[in-house]
């Protein structure tokens, strides 16, 4: 009986693998950025209301001018911060919107509906509330002040008050903030613009075109982009459109895409070349190639996020939050419709707009909330969206020239920030109490339930019993769990379906996330389980080169596999599984769900089997399924061979009984030790053999691995055509193992295995073999190395002569006969089912209906003679 023996747990409370890497960086910086922002705000208020408050006013109203020829731009320091320094903030904002829409959480438009509707509600209702208080007054046009949400503040507050709630709530609010930012920026651009200077605006438009051209021409020099940005800033400043909108536009133009395979490979080759031959030019090329492997959005964002988080935004708060709060201002604020409109718009309007918008979207079935996120947690999160600090202060400066109105609006913004924080903290506190006082502190049901159209299912999809595992490829306990799963599948057979969902613990296992994506990339080629089993049996080989080697060993399309890994094609699928884990109350790996309910007991074979029987949806069984023979200590039963197994031309080979054993000169079919055989005995079944029994039929989808116990078996290559005869490749004797990587990958058997001298063999299904290999590392090493040697031999034969051509062409039939007559090994690639072969024939401009012969040394022949083929087949490579 197998035992898992432990659980791997994440370092943090939440499963951060459900977030993309850029979002994880943003969440990590949220608390620190919010703390610094609060500190700057408090410093500004203390400074402005201290005995030295006059110095605050004098500093930020100090004039600073830039003169170019007869043109002068002069502003006080506060407006240089607002109009100049904040360009970097809005540039980063534009880049974040572009990244999220291109490759982030909003790349899947189905996830955008509910947060988008909630964001629209959070934009419209605050504006209406403000306007209701100020309609018909000179301050009515400032309705844009309460519509924005400060993402940094919200993420920081969530990190403090919402840490007990699913991380998907942060994803939901972040998605909402992106839509909110788009709306707020559009309002600034359209409604808070002075008289337009079309000439200056045309220059700004030209700068946009130059920016796009630099990107298309792949100019990677930062100073070039910076120069364009400076010119555009001056043009926007002169045009009457606020200069920060230029930053947003340029940010939206910064392309975002996953690392490209060709760029990564070039960076790797240049880095290796520099290591072998250090050179200044190589160092420069290697440095540039590494930078170019990442998208400009990622590279610039990595530089700007710390600067904007820890410098630009705090300086903006320091310059704008310093309101001198005295009796006169408080009296004015208490009776001011501006203060009332801003305060209630942010606190009440944001809360109701966001929460009711989300509820409406869900009720109308426009979309669904993320796994684990409830409407209650949405209401608590909506309370925090009243933290509109940064953009609200920014719009205040744009909307009001009157300093008194600015101060009244600022009081409303600051009061709303405090009230929204307290309201959100109270809401999360109440929800936490209600959750912890409930009977089940964590969810126990699988969320969402198993869906064969989406999930990876092993066994019959309609099996009555279901076992779901949340696992991490790099988790050692999950590696041990493969033995448990193998035993359970052997015990329950077709009555059990096994489902695997990803839970990479990214803060504990650095390779797990990419390895999970590798299994999905293999799954896209029909080899999910083959890659799953291979990675769990090679948990120490999960680096990128190792993953490519695994894919090659499984015979996958390497170019497609590598491209999909590089482009993060399957990253969203992995994150969905992690979100499901958090919604289902999973706290580590491995975690099992038995018939839809989380299993919190021992993870031994017997414990899980008992749980499956106890929760059988058909009701309690009349009796327990019989234990496997090895568990009872019985000798495995011999299985007679069906008479039909002999009715095959392969079995009619003459002289099989007296054939001598072929020695294992290359290690491709080693003789196993007694201890290794003992392990295989526990998982396999014995069967007697008679001469001519077909144990494995080449080309069949159903087969078993074979270990010879006594007697001999022959490896037979089947006939290629009606006029050909099968031929014996080798004869294998006792204690030797037969089977290849293609069979381990679930592919069809290439050759037949036929009993020669009568005796006995041990047969193992692919699942039972994997369980045996997982149980004994020494056996796994011996068998896998033998398989690799056989694969290397096949590759060596296949990488000689390649023939491109349609087998139906008359010229192809003649060429095949020539190759057979002269015994020339080759690989035939048919363009009717191989697009690469079709492309190569077109590029080589081959004559019509004529196959092309490619030699290992690069020579190309059309319609070669037999002597040409013999020379090609014997020519050394290189």
Higher pLDDT, 287 or 516: 516
**E strands along 464-580, which residues?**
465-471, 496-502
Buried b (16+ CB within 10 A) or exposed e, 295-312: bbbbbbbeebbeebbeeb
Phi, psi of 801 (to 5 degrees): -90, 135
* pLDDT tens track for 489-512: 888 888 899 999 999 988 788 888
Residue 796 has a pLDDT of 47
**C-alpha to C-alpha distance for 75 and 65, rounded to whole angstroms:** 6
Of the candidates 151, 99, 119, the residue with the CA atom closest to the CA atom of residue 308: 151
Residue 167 has pLDDT above 70, yes or no: no
The reported pLDDT for the residue numbered 643 is 33
Q: Which residue has the higher pLDDT, 91 or 293?
A: 91
Give the pLDDT confidence score for residue 532 in this predicted structure: 93
Angle between helices 558-566 and 261-276 (to 10 degrees): 90
Cβ proximity of 16 and 167 under 8 Å: yes
SS3 assignment, position 557: coil
Using the structure block, give the residue that is written with the tokens 């991380």. Answer: 167
Which region, left, alpha or beta, applies to residue 344 given φ > 0 means left and ψ of -120 to 50 means alpha?
Answer: alpha
Structural contact between residues 62 and 216, judged by C-beta atoms closer than 8 angstroms: no
Average pLDDT over residues 220-237: 79
Give pLDDT, residue 99.
Answer: 72
728 C-beta neighbours (distance < 10 Å), count: 18
Q: Is the pLDDT of residue 294 over 60?
A: yes
Q: Do domains 456-627 and 799-874 have the same CATH topology?
A: yes
User: Taking 70 as the threshold, does the pLDDT of residue 627 lie above it?
Assistant: no
Contacts of 36 (CB under 8 A, 6+ apart): 309, 310, 313, 314
Residue, of 414 and 327, whose pLDDT is higher: 414
**Contact residues for 45 (Cβ-Cβ < 8 A; gap 6+):** 321, 322, 323, 325, 414
Average pLDDT score over residue span 325-336: 85
**Range 468-472 average pLDDT:** 94
pLDDT score for 565: 80
Q: Return the number of other C-beta atoms located less than 10 Å from residue 262's C-beta.
A: 11
Q: Is residue 470 very low, low, confident or very high in pLDDT (cuts 50, 70, 90)?
A: very high
Residue 586, classed as helix, strand or coil, is coil
d(CA 170, CA 189): 28
Rounded Cα distance between 83 and 68, Å, is 18
The pLDDT confidence band at residue 639, using thresholds 50, 70 and 90, is: very low
pLDDT of residue 518: 92
Q: What is the pLDDT of residue 330?
A: 84
628-634 long-range CB contacts below 8 Å, 24 or more apart?
628/487, 628/490, 628/491, 630/682, 630/683, 631/1
For residue 205, pLDDT over 70 is answered with: yes
Helix, strand and coil percent figures for the chain, each rounded to 5: 55, 10, 30
The CATH number of the domain covering residues in 456-627 = 3.40.30.10
Please state, in angstroms and rounded to a whole number, the distance separating the CA atoms of residues 425 and 446: 29
Q: Give the other-Cβ count within 10 Å of 454's Cβ.
A: 11
Sheet with 685-689, side-by-side order of all strands? 685-689, 759-764, 705-710, 737-738
Average pLDDT over residues 856-865: 70
User: What 8-state DSSP symbol labels residue 736?
Assistant: B
SS3 of residue 803 by DSSP: strand
Q: Is 497 left (phi over 0), alpha (psi -120 to 50) or beta?
A: beta
DSSP E strands: which ranges in 765-814?
A: 801-804
Supply the pLDDT for residue 745. Answer: 65
Distance CA 342, CA 872 (A): 83
Per CATH, domain 21-193+242-259+294-432 is 1.20.1530.10: yes
Report the percentage of the chain scoring pLDDT > 70. Answer: 76
Record the tokens describing residue 203, joined without a space. Answer: 């220059």
633 pLDDT higher than 50: no
Query: Quick one: pLDDT band at residue 399, thresholds 50, 70, 90?
Result: confident
CA distance 837 to 830: 7
Query: pLDDT class for 626, splitting at 50, 70, 90?
Result: very low
157 vs 33, 344, 424, 683, CA distance in Å?
A: 11, 20, 8, 55
Where is 371: in which H helix or E strand? none
In whole angstroms, what is the distance from residue 650 CA to residue 699 CA?
13
- β pairing state of 801-804 and 826-829: parallel
In this structure, CATH architecture of domain 643-775: Sandwich (2.60)
Region 195-199: mean pLDDT is 77
Beta carbons within 8 Å of 602's beta carbon, 6+ residues apart? 3
CA distance 619 to 587: 30
Give the DSSP letter string of 211-230: HHHHHHTT---HHHHHHHHH
User: Left (φ > 0), alpha (ψ -120 to 50) or beta: where does 570 sit?
Assistant: alpha
Q: Give the CATH number of domain 799-874; options: 3.10.400.10, 3.40.50.300, 2.40.30.170, 3.40.30.10.
A: 3.40.30.10
Separation of alpha carbons 875 and 215, rounded Å: 48
Per-residue burial over 384-400, b = 16 or more CB atoms within 10 Å of its CB, e = otherwise: bbbbbbbbbbbbbbbbb
Report the distance separating Cα 315 and Cα 321, nearest Å: 10
How big is the CA angle at 212 (ends 211 and 215), to the nearest 5 degrees? Answer: 90
432-464 tens-digit pLDDT: 776 554 444 578 889 889 999 999 999 998 899
Give the pLDDT mean for 153-161.
72
Asked if 215 contacts 151 with a C-beta cutoff of 8 angstroms, the reply is: no
Least confident of 13-17, 125-129, 722-726, 799-803: 13-17
Q: What is the dihedral of CA 149, 155, 159, 160, to 10 degrees?
A: -30
Q: Concatenate the DSSP letters of all residues of 540-567 into one string.
A: T--SHHHHHHHHHHTT--HHHHHHHHHT
The better pLDDT of the pair 349, 365 is held by 349
pLDDT band at 623 (very low <50, low <70, confident <90, very high): very low
Write down the pLDDT at residue 159.
Answer: 67
Q: How far is CA 830 from CA 272, 791, 837, in A?
A: 37, 22, 7
Query: 51 is written with which tokens?
Result: 């005995």
The ranges assigned to domains in the chain are 21-193+242-259+294-432, 456-627, 643-775, 799-874
Mean pLDDT of the chain: 78
Each residue's pLDDT tens digit, 5-35: 556 655 455 554 445 555 555 555 555 667 7
Nearest to 782 by CA among 633, 680, 874: 680
pLDDT, mean of residues 426-433: 82
pLDDT-based confidence at residue 625 (cuts at 50, 70, 90) = very low
- Structure tokens that stand for 624 in this block: 């327990």
Q: How far is 215 from 254, CA to CA, in rounded Å? A: 8
Give the 3-state secondary structure of 672-715: CCHHHHHHHHHHCEEEEECCCCEEECCCCCCCCEEEEEECCEEE
């Amino acid at each position: 009986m197998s035992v898992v023996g432990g659980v791997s747990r994440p370092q943090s409370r939440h499963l951060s693998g459900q977030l993309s890497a850029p979002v994880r960086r943003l969440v990590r910086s949220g608390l620190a950025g919010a703390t610094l922002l609060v500190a700057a705000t408090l410093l500004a208020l203390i400074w402005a209301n201290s005995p030295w408050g006059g110095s605050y006013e004098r500093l930020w109203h100090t004039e600073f001018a830039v003169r170019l020829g007869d043109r002068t731009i002069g502003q006080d320091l506060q407006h240089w911060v607002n109009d100049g320094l904040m360009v970097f903030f809005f540039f980063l904002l534009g880049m974040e919107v572009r990244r999220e829409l291109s490759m982030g959480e909003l790349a899947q438009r189905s996830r955008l509906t509910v947060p988008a509707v909630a964001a629209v509600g959070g934009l419209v209702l605050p504006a209406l509330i403000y306007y209701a208080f100020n309609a018909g007054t000179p301050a009515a046009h400032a309705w844009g002040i309460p519509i924005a949400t400060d993402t940094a503040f919200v993420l920081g507050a969530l990190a403090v008050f919402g840490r007990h709630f699913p991380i998907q709530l942060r994803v939901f609010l972040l998605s909402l903030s992106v839509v909110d930012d788009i709306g707020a920026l559009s309002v600034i651009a359209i409604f808070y613009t002075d008289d337009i200077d079309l000439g200056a605006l045309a220059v700004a438009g030209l700068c946009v075109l130059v920016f796009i051209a630099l990107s298309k021409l792949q100019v990677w020099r930062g100073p070039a982009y910076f120069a364009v940005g400076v010119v555009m800033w001056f043009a926007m400043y002169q045009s009457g459109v606020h200069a920060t909108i230029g930053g947003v536009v340029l940010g939206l133009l910064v392309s975002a895409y996953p690392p490209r395979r060709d760029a990564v490979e070039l960076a790797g080759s240049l880095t290796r070349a520099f290591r072998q031959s250090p050179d200044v030019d190589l160092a420069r090329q290697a440095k540039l190639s590494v930078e170019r492997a990442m998208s400009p959005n990622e590279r610039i964002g990595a530089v700007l996020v710390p600067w904007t988080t820890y410098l630009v935004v705090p300086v903006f708060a320091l310059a704008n939050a310093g309101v001198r709060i005295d009796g006169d201002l408080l009296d004015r604020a208490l009776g001011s419709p501006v203060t009332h409109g801003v305060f209630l718009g942010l606190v009440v309007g944001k809360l109701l707009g966001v929460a009711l918008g989300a509820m409406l979207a869900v009720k109308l079935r426009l979309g669904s909330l993320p796994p684990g996120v409830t409407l209650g947690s949405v209401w608590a999160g909506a309370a925090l969206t009243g933290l509109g600090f940064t953009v609200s202060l920014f719009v205040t400066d744009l909307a009001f020239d009157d300093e008194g109105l600015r101060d009244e609006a600022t009081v409303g913004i600051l009061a709303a920030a405090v009230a929204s924080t307290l309201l959100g903290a109270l809401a999360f506190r109440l929800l936490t109490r209600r959750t912890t006082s409930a009977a089940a502190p964590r969810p126990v049901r699988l969320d969402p339930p198993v869906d064969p159209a989406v999930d990876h299912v092993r066994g019959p999809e309609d099996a009555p019993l279901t076992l779901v595992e949340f696992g991490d490829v790099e988790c050692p306990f999950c590696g041990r769990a493969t033995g448990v799963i193998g035993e359970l599948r052997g015990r329950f057979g077709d009555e059990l379906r096994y489902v695997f969902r990803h839970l990479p613990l990214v803060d504990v296992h650095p390779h797990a996330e990419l390895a999970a994506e590798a299994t999905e990339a293999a799954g896209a080629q029909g080899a999910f389980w083959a890659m799953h089993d291979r990675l769990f049996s090679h948990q120490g080989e999960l680096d990128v080169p190792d993953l490519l080697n695994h894919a090659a060993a499984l015979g996958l399309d390497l170019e497609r596999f590598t491209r999909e890994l590089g482009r993060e094609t399957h990253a969203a699928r992995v994150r969905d599984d992690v979100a499901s884990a958090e919604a289902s109350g999973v706290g580590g790996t491995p975690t099992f769900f038995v018939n839809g309910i989380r299993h919190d007991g021992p993870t031994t074979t017997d414990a899980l089997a008992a749980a499956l029987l106890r929760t059988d949806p058909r009701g309690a069984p009349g009796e327990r399924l019989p234990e496997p023979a090895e568990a009872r200590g019985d000798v495995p039963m011999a299985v007679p061979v069906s008479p039909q197994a002999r009715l095959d031309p392969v079995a009619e080979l003459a002289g099989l009984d007296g054939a001598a054993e072929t020695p294992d000169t290359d290690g491709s079919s080693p003789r196993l030790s007694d201890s290794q055989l003992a392990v295989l005995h526990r998982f396999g079944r014995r069967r007697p053999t008679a001469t001519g029994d077909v144990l494995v039929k080449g080309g069949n989808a159903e087969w078993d691995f074979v270990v010879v116990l006594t007697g001999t078996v022959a490896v037979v290559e089947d006939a290629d055509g009606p006029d050909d005869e099968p031929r014996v490749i080798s004869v294998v004797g006792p204690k030797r193992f037969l089977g290849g990587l293609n069979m381990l990958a679930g592919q069809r058997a290439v050759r037949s295995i036929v009993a020669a001298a009568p005796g006995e063999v041990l047969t193992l299904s692919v699942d039972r073999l994997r369980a045996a290999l997982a149980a004994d590392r020494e056996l796994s090493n011996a068998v896998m190395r033998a398989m690799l040697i056989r694969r290397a031999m096949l590759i060596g034969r296949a990488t000689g002569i390649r023939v491109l051509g349609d087998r139906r062409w008359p010229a192809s039939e003649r060429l095949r006969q020539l190759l057979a007559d002269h015994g020339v090994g080759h690989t035939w690639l048919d363009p009717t089912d191989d697009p690469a072969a079709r492309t190569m024939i077109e590029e080589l401009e081959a004559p019509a209906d004529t196959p092309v012969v490619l030699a290992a040394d690069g020579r190309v022949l059309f319609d070669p003679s037999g002597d040409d083929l013999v020379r090609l087949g014997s020519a050394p490579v290189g």
